Structure formats: structure tokens, C-alpha cells
Amino acid sequence: MPISNAETLHEQYIALLQASATKLGKRTIKLQEQHFRVTDGYYVSPNMYRLVVTAPDNIPLNHPGYAYLFELNAEVLSTINGESENNDKPLQRYYTLRKAWRDPIRLSVQAWIDVYIHGNTPGGNWARSLVCGMPIKTVRDYPEKIEHLSEGQCLLICDETSLPTVANLLENWQNPLPPLVIAITEDPEDISYLHTLNLCQHLGHDERFLQDNLLHIIKTPTTDLSEQIISLLHARLTTLPLKIGKVWGALEAADIKSLRQQLKVTLGLSRQDMVIKVYWRAQ
């Protein structure tokens, strides 16, 4: 059958990836419909809003960065925006599982989905509009590439959109070496998000981990982010001699483009050891 549009081509490409990954025993994007139900919602830092949901039984409980493509409720958004939604294509956004666990009392899987609220955006408006009992639907799963972080000295780089992935990583850190973390926020108070974690056992026993290994950049409209990250990294590696062997990072598209090349030159890592992702694009 001829492919008539880009969306169909993309779906067929994902289906091919899915079939290949299944044969190789690897995780990849899944085109599947999943259903969640909201049980609560509240702020966990000045600009991070947490949805508490009942989740499908097949949800991964220990895979940091696992994401779902959510369909935003058009009726809710049109009410908030005061206008009707006539677009046939549903508005969709990827959000990462912050945490998932099996509740022995409710006999179901519960999960947190943390949404960064930054102004009047469809995703933030949708998340804050959801109330207890509301159903939400996803149409695609995406497993984050984190396997390379299991050994060697690691560097994690995140902004508000990827803070949930890093938070989950730090609570489930298996690598015997503690990672170096660079966190970027616009609001200085949002760094509290990482100061309230239940760190994994060996990171939690290191009283100086958050003091020595968590570096914070406060982003302003004039911040050259890639330059500041490299400068901060150089300064920290001078006082805390480490040989970075693995990197995971996720930021805005334009920031990633310049940062990827600078990190490659600075650290001299292979593509397999340096996973740098685009988590969002500035309008």
C-alpha cells in the first residue's frame, strides 16, 4: 500500500524498529495504547507539578526515563483557552515516569508523572486541569537509553524537563561510582526537587554526595548554556579529579546541538558512551 503522509511513514518506521528489537531482545519504541487514571495532583517544587496515577500492570517499575506519549484532553484545553479545538489531530506530549511501584493495599500499580510548569503551555494547563478519577491515554511508549551508565564514571546533565529521569536514576543507581550531576533550572528554588530524594543505599550513605557531586546552574535569558556547562565541568574536575567515561543528558534542542560537540572534544568519548537527547524545543 502506498504511503500517503509523513505520519504513516513514521508509524511504519517505528513498527519496523519494534519488530527488529524484539528479535534482538532489545527495548524500543512501542506503538500501543495504554490507560491511566488520575488519583491526585500537587506541586513538589515551585514549578514541578506531580500527577499521581493508577497505571497499567505492564508498566516498568525500574527503568528510569521510561516515557509515554500522552494525548492531551482537547475538551479540557479548549475550556482553559476559551476557544474550540477544531484540529483533527490530537495534541500529544511525551512525559517521563518519575517513579512506579506496586501498591499492595490497592492491588494495582501506582506512578508519579512530574510535569514542568513554565507559563501558559498546553502540557502544563492539561496537567493542572486533571482531577481525581479522570482517565488519561497514551499511544506510544519510549524506553530511555541508560544501559551504558552501569559502569565507569558517569556525568548526568538535566534541566527541568529531564529532572524526573535523573531523580529516578539517583534513586535506583546501580553503578558503584557516584555520578557527577549538572542540573539547570530557571528558578533557583527548583533544585529542591533533587534535595528531597530517597537516594539509593550507597549514594544515601555518602553524606557529601549532594554537596560535592550535584552542580547547579541557574539559567537566565542571556546564559550561554553549553559554555557554562563546559566551564563548570572544567572547574569541578580540577578540584574533584575524575575521569568521565559515560554521559547521559537531555536538554532543549538548540542547547544540545552546541553542547554535544563541545563535550565530545572535552571528554573524548565515543557515541555509545555519550547519550545526549533532545527533550524539548523552544517555540
**71 and 110 both lie in a single domain:** yes
Edge to edge, the sheet with strand 154-158 lists 214-218, 180-185, 154-158, 246-252, 274-280
Q: Are residues 168 and 136 in the same domain?
A: no
Residue 10 has pLDDT above 70, yes or no: no
What is the rounded CA–CA span in Å between residue 205 and residue 176?
A: 12
40 and 86 belong to one structural domain:
yes
pLDDT digits (tens, 9 = 90+) for 57-116: 999 999 999 999 999 976 665 655 554 455 567 899 999 999 999 999 888 999 999 999
Asked whether residue 49 falls in the same domain as residue 115, the answer is yes
Q: pLDDT for 30-58, tens place per residue?
A: 999 999 999 999 999 999 999 999 999 99
Report the alpha-carbon distance of residue 9 to residue 190 in Å, rounded.
39
Provide the grid cell at 126.
Answer: 492539561
User: Given 111, 141, 171, which residue is the final one in a domain?
Assistant: 141
Does one domain contain both 133 and 185?
Answer: no
**For the ranges 69-78, 139-148, 252-261, the one whose mean pLDDT is highest:** 139-148
**Half-sphere exposure at residue 202, Cβ-oriented, CA atoms within 13 angstroms:** 9
Give the C-alpha separation, 20 to 27, whole Å: 10
The CA-based angle 223-227-231, given to 5 degrees, is: 115
Residue 41 C-alpha cell reads as: 495532583
Same domain? For 164 and 274 the reply is yes
The CATH number covering residue 84 comes to 2.40.30.10
Higher pLDDT, 204 or 170: 170
> Is residue 133 domain-shared with residue 159, that is, in the same domain?
no
From 141, 165, 182, the end of a domain falls on 141
Q: Which of 141, 172, 196 is the last residue of a domain?
A: 141
Considering the domain architecture, whether residues 156 and 268 belong to the same structural domain is answered as yes
Instruction: Indicate if 275 and 151 belong to the same structural domain.
Output: yes
Residues near 208 by Cβ (< 8 Å), separated by ≥ 6? Answer: none
Q: What percent of the chain has pLDDT over 70?
A: 85
Domain that holds residue 68: 32-141
Q: Which of 14-23, 34-43, 200-209, 271-280 has the highest average model confidence (pLDDT)?
A: 34-43
Task: Give strand ranges (E) for the chain.
Answer: 34-45, 48-55, 67-71, 92-103, 108-116, 135-142, 154-158, 180-185, 214-218, 246-252, 274-280
Residues 230, 157, single domain; the answer is: yes
Contact of 100 with 181, CB cutoff 8 Å: no
Contact 194, 184 (CB under 8 A): no
Judge if 43 and 131 occupy the same domain: yes
13 with 42, same domain: the answer is: no
Number of domains in the chain: 3
